[in-house]
Structure formats: structure tokens, C-alpha cells
Amino acid sequence: MDLTVRDGYQLGDTIKTYLQLMKLRIVILLCFTTVTAMVIAADGLPELDTLLFTLLGGILASGGSSAINQYVDRDMDAKMSRTARRPIPSGRISATNALLFGIALVVWSVVILTVWVNTLAALMAFMGAIYYVVIYTMILKRNTVVNILIGGGAGAFPILVGWAAVTGTLTFEAGLLFAIVFWWTPPHSWALALLVNADYTRAKVPMMPVAHGEYATRVQILLYSIQLFLISLLPWFFGVLGSIYFVAAIVLGVGLIWMSIQLIRIATKAMARNTYKYSTAYLAFIFLAMMLDRLIKI
């Protein structure tokens, strides 16, 4: 009996470890943007089978990319207190197993999307994984301060997956949603970088606070928040979304700008943490507003 309980505990612990490799909290947010894109593209609720298979493929692609990312960054993660307890640097899983797990998830994602959705959606999922693992993690992150500026596209690919899943094409409207996530990434990521600046300095990662200092980073957060606010109005301006979205974009955007101004005035870790949390909520709520706008149609 003791052996069964112990084995059961070990199995559960192993499953939990592999799920941690997938970064499920990030995956959930990415899936939400995918569903929103599908609702807008379908002008309502998409077909259930398309929705479910697209979500499954998206979860596998995002989770697999995260696992491969942790394989590549394992040396860096071991040097930073924020990431030292991740599965690979903590020794709970071997680097090889993490890599194989990540590759398998991405491959299954491509197979599922190709067979049960369409080829373009599968291609977008695969390109998103390549963008995140190769362009951002392997090339940009360790070598240039513009890592976040260019790498932000990785988090926007789930939108293209969702749009392609419904329409089989990529249109200007999909590009507008892509741009919102792309411009949201810098202020969101730099707020986090302010919180863990010592970690990035120790690991020699040229994030904005390391390369140009914390004050310059706060100013850049404000500038990109203003740009994001203007870009977020484009779906309304071009008639893609209506009044519900417009009001939400105004309120949420002004809120992010206000938080960014406060971050310059109050240069504390607590304020950086509040800005980071608000930026996370910003993305969730602005995409919720998109979905409600399309479903309610006031």
C-alpha cells in the first residue's frame, strides 16, 4: 500500500513538473486571444469542432514552445532567483527530456491543426513556435536590447492561428489584432524587467533596464503605452469593432498610460509590480471587450 501511494505521488509530481514546463498561465492568456480572434473572424461563435481542435493545437504549440524555451535558457534560468526553481535548473527533470517533450508537443500541434483544422492554421502555429524559440530565445534575447521589441511578435501568433482556423486566410483585420499584442509586449515585459533587474544583470541578459537603466525603461514604457493606446483604436476606426470595444479601449488605454506616468513618478518595485499586473489585466480585458462587442453587437 505504501509503495502504491508513493508511486502515485511520484506520478502526480512528474505530471505537475511537465505542466510547469508548459507555463499554463501564459498558455491560457494566449488561448483567450485565439478564441477572440476566432469569434471576430466568424462574426459570432465559430463551429464547435473547429474551436476545440484549434484550442488543443494552440495549447500544444504554446506549451511546447515554452518547454523548448526553458531547455535553451536552462543555464540562464539557474542564475536567476525568479527562475531557479523551474523544472530543469531545479533538477526535477532532465534537459533532454524537456527538449523532447517540447518538440513532441509542437509536432502534435502541427498534426492536429493540419488534419482537423487547416494547413494555414498549422503553419501559423509552427511559425509562432519558431519565432519564439529561434528568433527570440536563441538570437535576440541574449544579444540585443531590442529583444522584446522584435520578439513581441511571438505572443501575437495565436491570433493568426485563430483567424486562419476560421477563414483559411489572413486579412488586414487579423493584422490589427496582431499589432495590439505586438505593441503591448514591450511595456508589459519591461515592467517585469524592472522587478527582476538584478536577475537579468546577473545573467547578463541585455533587457532594457540592464542596457539603458531603469529611468529610460520607465520612459519607454510610457511611450509604448501611448503607442499601444493609439493602435488599439484602429479596430474601431476601420469599423472592425464597435462601441463596446471603443469604450473599453479608451478606459483601459488611459489606465495603462496613467500607470506608466505613475511608474516614472514613483520609482519603486511595488509600482513596477502594479504596472505589470495592470498590463496583464489590460490584455485580458481588451480582448474580452472585443469578444463581447462582436457577440452583443450594439
Q: State pLDDT tens for residues 206-263.
A: 999 999 999 999 999 999 999 999 999 999 999 999 999 999 999 999 999 999 999 9
d(C-alpha 254, C-alpha 256), whole Å? 5
Query: Cα torsion for 197, 198, 201, 205, to the nearest 10°?
Result: -50
Q: State pLDDT tens for residues 85-116.
A: 999 999 999 999 999 999 999 999 999 999 99
pLDDT at 6: 47
Share of the chain above pLDDT 90, in %: 88
Question: Cβ neighbours of residue 90 under 8 Å, at least 6 residues apart?
Answer: 84
d(C-alpha 293, C-alpha 286), whole Å? 10
Give the pTM: 0.93
Under 8 Å between Cβ of 170 and 55: no
Give 199's pLDDT tier (boundaries 50, 70, 90). Answer: confident
Among candidates 172, 70, 158, which has minimal Cα distance to 109? Answer: 158
pLDDT at 9: 53
Q: State pLDDT tens for residues 12-71.
A: 888 999 999 999 999 999 999 999 999 999 999 999 999 999 999 999 999 999 999 999
d(C-alpha 171, C-alpha 167), whole Å? 9
CA 282 vs. chain centroid, Å, equals 13
CA atoms within 13 A on the CB side of 142: 13
Among candidates 213, 94, 216, 72, which has minimal Cα distance to 142? Answer: 72
Under 8 Å between Cβ of 211 and 170: no
